[in-house]
Homo-oligomer: A and B are copies of this chain.
Amino acid sequence: MEDREIKGVIEALLFISGEPLSPDRIKNVLEEIDRGKIKSLLWELQQEYDMRLSGLRIVEVAGGFQIVTPPEVSQWIKKLKKIKQSARLTKPSLETLAIIAYKQPLVKAEIEDIRGVDSAGVIKGLLDKRFVKIIGRKDVPGRPILYATTKEFLQYFGLKDISDLPTLKEFNELAEEEGAGSLS
């Protein structure tokens, strides 16, 4: 392989690894190339990154090399992450949302009954994200708050209304018929 080509492979490995890669680790992949060569190509690559004034750097950390973003851009990265985070749901939120969507209106105790864990925090998060709203109180002792899903919830999942949600039955039908219908 030519130097340029080896350097390309090293760059790709650094990119995909996400964590510092030691020359030894790279050597394990590029067996035919000697360690000294790998190290000098890593330094060349590092210099090239510096020289082209890009938004990326190659740093030597923890015994390895890693592609990182320089401090100057960190404010923008934080901003991107914030935007992304607001569009995401964690598994507990998802579970809770599923329960509310299918069983609404319902109270916190009913959610916790199914999930088996305290769900106050998750419900609060869903209220903040506007996927869930309070629609009143249940007429039982203590008058607990009743929750339901919102318009924003429908929008996020691309549904016109709540009856657009597939039923568990429809869903099971898809699963059961798996493998059926073809010759086997």
CB distance from A105 to the nearest CB of B (A): 10
**Contact: A76 with B174, CB < 8 Å?**
no
Q: List A47-65 residues whose CB lies under 8 Å from chain B.
A: 48, 52-56
**Contact: B164 with A55, CB < 8 Å?**
no
Quick one: CB contact mask for A141-164 with B, threshold 8 Å, 1 for yes? 001010000000000001110011
In the docked arrangement, what's the CA distance between A4 and B121, Å?
44
- Considering only CB atoms, which chain B residue lies closest to A160 in the complex? B136
* Chain A residues near B (Cβ < 8 Å): 4, 7-13, 15-17, 21, 25, 28-30, 48, 52-56, 67, 69-70, 72-73, 76-77, 79-81, 83-84, 92, 117-121, 123-125, 127, 133-137, 143, 145, 158-160, 163-164, 166, 170, 173-182
